[in-house]
Amino acid sequence: MTRVQKDGPGKEEQAWLATQRPSRIRDVQAGRLGWTEVDLLDIDSGGGKPLRDALEVFGVRVHYLPVGQPRHLVAALDGSRPIAPYVILACHGDEGRVLLDELAEELARFQPFNGTLGPEQVRAHLRLPGSVVLVTGCETGHPALADAFLDAGASVYIAPEGAPFGYASVFAPMFLFYELTQQRGLTEAVERLRAHDDELSMWRLHRR
């Protein structure tokens, strides 16, 4: 009977993996379930499920969290559960706020907020200890919203300052994670994303 390797690759497999093109995919080939994890919050974006599929191809473990109400967003990111190293809000945005569906009054009265997630709501409800946060919504790269996410504990905040067309907002996180999978650092990955074309140049990296 062939012995199954349980505690990582043996020397022969390590030697073979070292001959392959450098990539964090090699960690997955060596037996890990993913080289990192992402909490993907799908806020009526239309692109959340394709993004999940793409990230899984890149060897990323994705926790797909559809958001139908503001309290779903808070429950996912208020610090009451372990937060992944990367958090993606696949969403629409406007004027420095994440847009959520406006709920009817009888439902809204049970919510922590209604309609939009802006700097005040982020500071009041979200806790993101050390996570890299990527937001896809238009104009969510506004400095006030970026500062709020950093105040809530994010180590890095990445979002577009302008209003890129819709499929650019799906492609941007795919491009970024392709670069990260190729073992590039986060700063270089964002620089390469921004250099791709005018639409992707709208994304900005914020950190302290």
In a domain, 10, yes or no: no
In a domain, 16, yes or no: no
Statement: the pTM of the whole predicted model exceeds 0.75:
yes
22 versus 5: which is more confidently predicted?
22
Q: pLDDT tens digits for 93-137?
A: 999 999 998 888 888 888 999 999 999 999 999 999 999 999 999
Residue 33: its pLDDT value, please?
92
Residue 73: its pLDDT value, please?
96
In a domain, 1, yes or no: no
Q: pLDDT tens digits for 151-195?
A: 999 999 999 999 998 899 999 999 999 999 999 999 999 999 999
Q: Which of 11-20, 50-59, 147-156 has the lowest mean pLDDT?
A: 11-20
Residue 7: its pLDDT value, please?
61
Q: pLDDT tens digits for 74-93?
A: 999 999 999 999 999 999 99
* Distance between CA atoms of residues 80 and 93, nearest Å: 26
Domain that holds residue 49: 35-206
* Distance between CA atoms of residues 128 and 24, nearest Å: 24
In a domain, 6, yes or no: no
* Distance between CA atoms of residues 172 and 190, nearest Å: 9
| Total number of domains constituting the chain | 1
In a domain, 9, yes or no: no
**Going by DSSP bridges, is the β-strand pair 116-117/97-99 parallel, antiparallel, or unpaired?**
antiparallel
Contact 102, 94 (CB under 8 A): no
Q: Does position 2 have pLDDT exceeding 80, yes or no?
A: no
In a domain, 106, yes or no: yes
Find where tokens 């960690």 sit: 27
Strand spans (E) along the chain = 36-42, 60-66, 86-90, 92-94, 97-99, 116-117, 132-135, 156-160, 203-206
CATH code, domain carrying 168:
3.40.50.1460
